[in-house]
Structure 1
């Protein structure tokens, strides 16, 4: 093969190789571009899928959240209605029954329980408050007009006013009893460090109560107020049968 023919073959081979390389490069570039487009499309689809899933979850959560809010509103509405109902009973008692010299133990006990329910509104749901009744409704004096009205208000109001509402072991305890013709109310509460009860155990309400008891029941009652460490205790007992007998023989 002469040199001229060999050069022609080499030139042709080089040209074909260059064309093949150029074609492969273009195919590579196109394949790379297609890959990017596919990856971009995949990301878009994945994002849409995630958004759709999130929207589905939110569509489930939002009504659930709305229902929870509605339940909360209903709960507060019920509490408000309950409190207003109790307040109405208290106002009726103060405006009408308390104008009488005496009421029945049943009426005074109902008043005391309503007053406690109203005061409970300002307490946290986690606050410990115990209210116990020990009532003998068959007692002969249970429905008789023999008990001074509002006689229990001072003990109850002081407990809510001076109780320690912040301490984790804070509490209020109320025990109302009527048996053997004896009316009894015992109130205990943990005293707040800021409470005036740490310095002084009496006030206008306390002195007024004691004056009323002395005038109305003379020696037929017992009122104790004392502290045990950080717990304040107030207990009132009135022997109504003894009081009635003294009134009949006077």
Structure 2
């Protein structure tokens, strides 16, 4: 009888010890899990902070290359067509104001960017004959709230426009450049198309700078809120850019930026 009681007490004690060990183990695992989660959050925060800094440095580097590159192209255009210098210089003044002041901002309004692009087009006109077919259209819903809000990256439109004038066939009878700006449903659209020249220009060391810069800027700034399509159709090069500014703003607000 005593033996049975002793065995029973022993088993009871062992059970209690086992339960205590199990509880301690559970609490230890919970502590480790919480600590791991805290470390993971800390790591993610540090990673996100580092990513923002790296992207900021990339943008600064890209933009520091972009402005002199554009300015050099403009001056070359004016220098080669001195007879139209007065008109070109008038437009150049507007472009320079934008480059010096507005482009230093992180964002400008779609209205400001489109006005800048139209001035840039006027300067590029001096490269082509008065008989050359240059179509410029704007389809703008100015009543939309985001049209006047600083939410569009400055100088985001110049690469597609500069490329058209650089690679268009300016001598062919059916040559043309078409540039269409649209702003609707809180989206910025730019469609540029041109007849491809048969005369291939010599490849330069810095060729493709604008195109690479545009792709990188769009990816860094707008992430999945943009679409850039480039394709050739019947000897016509077409580039179409769409930026969903409403979705981008919603994501920025949600992220607290």
TM over 0.5: yes
Q: What's the TM-score, normalizing by structure 1?
A: 0.65
Deviation sequence 1:102-125 (CA, Å, 0-9, x none):
001010000110000100011101
> Alpha-carbon deviation of 1:167?
0.3
Q: CA RMSD in A?
A: 1.9
Residues 141 and 78 (structure 1 numbering): CA distance in 2 closer, same or farther, change over 3 Å? Answer: farther
Deviation sequence 1:62-100 (CA, Å, 0-9, x none):
xxxxxxxxxxxxxx9995433211110001101110011
1:189 paired with 2:197, answer: no
1:228 corresponds in structure 2 to: 233
Q: Indicate the SS of the match to 1:247.
A: helix
Aligned residues: 171
Q: Output the CA distance in 1 between the equivalents of 2:178 and 2:105.
A: 29
Residues 212 and 134 (structure 1 numbering): CA distance in 2 closer, same or farther, change over 3 Å? Answer: same
1:95 paired with 2:100, answer: yes
Q: What's the TM-score, normalizing by structure 2?
A: 0.64
Deviation sequence 1:197-230 (CA, Å, 0-9, x none):
9xxxx82211111111011001100000110121
Q: Which runs of 4+ in 1 moved over 4 A?
A: 76-79
Unaligned ranges ≥5, structure 1: 1-75
Q: Indicate the SS of the match to 1:132.
A: strand
Residues 196 and 231 (structure 1 numbering): CA distance in 2 closer, same or farther, change over 3 Å? Answer: farther
Among 136, 139, 144, the residue aligned to 1:139: 144
Q: Indicate the SS of the match to 2:181.
A: strand
Q: Indicate the SS of the match to 2:221.
A: helix
Q: Output the CA distance in 1 between the equivalents of 2:92 and 2:218.
A: 26
Q: Output the CA distance in 2 between the equivalents of 1:153 and 1:239.
A: 18
Q: Output the CA distance in 2 between the equivalents of 1:226 and 1:77.
A: 35
Deviation sequence 1:129-158 (CA, Å, 0-9, x none):
100000111110011110000000000000
Unaligned ranges ≥5, structure 2: 1-80
